[in-house]
Amino acid sequence: MKLIVGLGNPGKKYEDTRHNVGFHVIDQCAKNLNITLNQEKWKGLFGYETIGGEKVFLLKPLTYMNLSGEAVRPLIDFYKIEIDNVLVVYDDLDLPPGKIRLRQKGGHGGHNGIKSMLAHLGTENFKRIRVGIGRPEPGIAVANYVLSTFPPSEKQDVHESVQHAANACESWLSKDFLNVMNSFN
């Protein structure tokens, strides 16, 4: 079994914000893989299908970003998903819009959603796809920036990075993550 988690904030208010690119990647994966996100349980919205003989789960935590791990841990425990089979997709200030980076493990890098994941999973050994959202201009608070929408000049780059990240997720379903990293980084 594999689990792909996209981090974001629930609700219309946050739908198109920079912080929600993880949700957008999950939506694209759901479309590409024909998975319907129709189960709301354990503070998350998820769905799954059997692909290539393996159950593949897609999850959007409904806890708000800072508590994301609260939705992930119960699903992992109930379905007995190995941490090595968990991939988390989230926004990253250190990458420009349009860029993605895959990592096999790591710290939180100041990202509160990943801090929550680390706390609830008890390990940093889960796979990640970081989707670039860029840094704010001087004088703009990071909290305000991540909750802002992308300007028209960045929308095409972001759309392409969401597609690229979803393709990387799909590739991971049939390939070793190191190979996926080599192809997509």
What residue has token string 């890098």? 109
According to the annotation, is 14 in a ligand binding site? yes
What residue has token string 């939180």? 108
> Which of 19, 24, 111, 164 is flagged as catalytic?
19
| Known catalytic residue at 19 | yes
What span, in angstroms and rounded, lies between the C-alpha atoms of 136 and 67? 23
According to the annotation, is 90 in a ligand binding site? no
According to the annotation, is 34 in a ligand binding site? no
CB of 22 closer than 8 Å to CB of 165 = no
What span, in angstroms and rounded, lies between the C-alpha atoms of 98 and 157? 4
With a CB cutoff of 8 Å and minimum separation 6, the contacts of 166 are 25, 28, 29, 32
Query: Could you tell me whether strands 2-6 and 127-132 are parallel, antiparallel, or unpaired per DSSP bridges?
Result: unpaired
Structure tokens at 117: 């994941």
What span, in angstroms and rounded, lies between the C-alpha atoms of 40 and 27? 15
According to the annotation, is 9 in a ligand binding site? no
What span, in angstroms and rounded, lies between the C-alpha atoms of 120 and 116? 6
Binding site feature residues for tRNA: 14, 64, 66, 112
Q: Which residues are annotated as a binding site?
A: 14, 64, 66, 112
Catalytic residue positions, numbered: 19
